[in-house]
Amino acid sequence: MRLLSLLVAVAAVGAAEQVELRPPLSRLVPIPGDQAGPRRIEAELTIPPSAGALGVGGWVADQHGGWFQRILPATYGEGRHQVVIELAPGYGLAGEPAPAVLRAPDLDRCRRSGLLLWSVSGRPLGVEVSARTVALPPPARSGRLIDLAFAPGATAGQRWTLSCLADPQPADPFDPAAFQLALEVTAPDGSTSRQTGFWREPQAMEDGGDRERTRQSGPGRFEVRFRPAQPGVHRLRLLATWGGGAEQASALPPLTVAGAVFDGWARVDAQDRRFLSAGGALVWPIGPNLRSPWDVRCREAYGTALNADRGTAWFAEQFATLAAHGGTGCEVWMSSWNLALEWNARWSGYHGVGRYAQGNAERLDRVLDEAWSRGLRVNLVVNNHGQASTKADSEWRASPYNRANGGRLATAAEFFHDPWALAMQDRHRRYVAARWAEHPAVLAWKQWSEVNLSDVGGHSVSWHRQAAERWRVHDPYRHPVTTHWCGDWTNIDQEVAALPGIDFLCFNAYHERGPLAPLLLASVQRGLRPSGKGGMVTEFGCNWNGGSEPRLYAEHASAGFVALVAGHAGAPMNWWHEWVEQRGGWQCFRALANFVAGEDLRGSEARSVGMALEGERDRLQARAWLRPGRALGHILDLAWQEDGGDGRQRSGVAVVVGEEVAPGSLVVEWWDADRGTLRSREVLVHRGGRLVLAPPPFRRHLAFKLVRQGGAKEAG
């Protein structure tokens, strides 16, 4: 086999390079430099006598293996040749892997360029090459929207999608300064909303067993998502802006929406701001913290097996199991190792600040769709503390905002006040809201996990104020906005909590010793009371680094009931989800869900009350959530919650409901709090005055309902 020698001297490099390869393989000649967008290769090729014909092509590539190439139809023989290769949409660049058609956004990612050379005849060949890349100017034509696609009708409560292409296509489709697309919708009642468009590149998912992989499955397009709330005829106007120019408006055919009125988005309840509701019904989430498929700390603390990173397949399995056990909510993180949209461009699938990872975006599409199909709502964490922290679980060294990785920030603290950083965060917010705000599976936008572990410093109030205001601008569906503090309720920044744009509060309930119940009660009475807002524990389970497994089980089994009677806005979410799934911890969700089914906690007079105990009451606690005519109660063995195990048999206990209870007929139900089953039910005819209930014998904890028949007077 003869050798083909290519003598390559690229002008930008300087020194010549001697290479040898065997035909029919080709030689890639990279051109140094970082060139984004449409470009031209200008090359001079010198081919010696009797060398035979040379084939030439040009290519562009990104850092993750994305590749487009253009092969010139002509071949080149002896002599000096000036070769120009346009690498831009419309010049027939073929892609590998799919899609086969190159568009402007692909060129924004593909910043490496080069020549592709090969010997047509297979003879040894020495070539002298001088080459450079030159940016091509943008097309000098007015903008228009092409290839418009949408359905002629829609159903209330279901997603309706419009998609199109922009001509000229912006190099960076995520940059609103380059191009903006929006849909103005006038509903049958005359109200108007604006739905923001976003860039989407469809992805195929592959569950490899050990890891989920994504690949682009088709060309990208701009999309607008709209979920109508009202049936009837909607008037539509499509709005487009190129490069900060004048907004172009185009009327579309009216959209006829069938079905019934839909109001399935969770929001702060209009009458009782301590709780969330949707369509007039209470939303009280029950479930664990499913932030990402795997957790090294759980393995370290409890010896669980580390889950494979199976992405959407894992979430689908967890959601199915949770829903089967009565769960209605969970938390999911947009973290660098899970569903983040922007991160270090050296990491697989990411392209830096402002260029959103389409593989993860498609994953989040599927996660939310799967959750909603199971009746679950997701507390969506937009930022986790390590992303802007140098002191706790720090990820700052890998952050794309870090100057060392191509960003503009010297310190993590600048993330919270630098104008460029704030602008890019708002651009990210805009994309998130455009793509997912219409989704009723989104419980809330949780801006941070454990923000006080980040480097926010003295900028927490100003950062949260502007961020919450911008969510209001971007989200026409008005999802609640929240944030989160580590440790327990004592770390809540009450100045942040009081901001009008913060709708409810999230915090942890970790503690080293003692029972959990007093901490959950204090969370409401002392942590939430200053702001008057609702709150949820979104991490708990002994201490942050674990604890005894018997104690973890006891807390897991009882925390939901304790939070219910204390007045939390949802059940506490256990951090140790691998322990929950691998040690059979799902039953407590079913028990709690059975007990609260059909109940409503809201009302101006609704409150948490403690109830005195008589008889064998050592280390027992009784508490109830009281509304006119109805009480939901819980009796807890504090020793069991602190130490775990089976707890001891309790009998001869009396619950003092009150000393001045109005006369009437009352129904009392006793519930097995571990199984979520009704143990007994009886009707009491109370003559007025002191009311004492006699619980059946129990271990660990016991739940009860007390309902007044035929009136709205308080049960207690």
Secondary structure of 685-698 as H, E, C letters: EECCEEEEECCCCE
pLDDT for 523: 98
DSSP 385-447: GGGG-SSSS--GGG-TTBGGGT-SBSSGGGGGT-HHHHHHHHHHHHHHHHHHTT-TTEEEEE-
What pLDDT shows up at residue 138?
A: 75
Burial label for 605, CB within 10 Å (0-12, 13-18, 19+), is exposed
pLDDT of residue 99: 60
- The whole model's pTM is what? 0.91
CATH number of 607-708: 2.60.40.1180
| CA atoms of 671 and 593, how far apart (whole Å) | 12
CA–CA–CA angle 144, 148, 154 (5° rounding): 135
The pLDDT, as a whole number, for residue 208 is 87
CA 138 to chain centre: 35
- pLDDT score of 11: 38
CATH second-level architecture of 267-596? Alpha-Beta Barrel (3.20)
**End-to-end CA distance of the chain, in Å?**
97
Q: What is the DSSP letter of 490?
A: G
What is the CATH code for 144-258? 2.60.40.10
Extract the residue ranges of the chain whose pLDDT is less than 50.
1-21
CATH class, 4-135 region? mainly beta
144-258 and 607-708 in the same fold: yes
Per the CB < 8 A criterion, the answer to whether 7 and 128 are in contact is yes
Residue type at 355?
Answer: R
Between CA 11 and CA 428 the distance in angstroms is 40
* Beta strands at 504-509 and 534-540: parallel, antiparallel or unpaired: parallel
Q: Which residues pair with 614 in a beta bridge?
A: 654
Domain ranges within the chain, ordered by starting residue: 4-135, 144-258, 267-596, 607-708
Residues 6 or more apart whose Cβ sits within 8 Å of residue 11: 130, 131, 132
- CA proximity to 556, closest of 305, 325, 299: 325
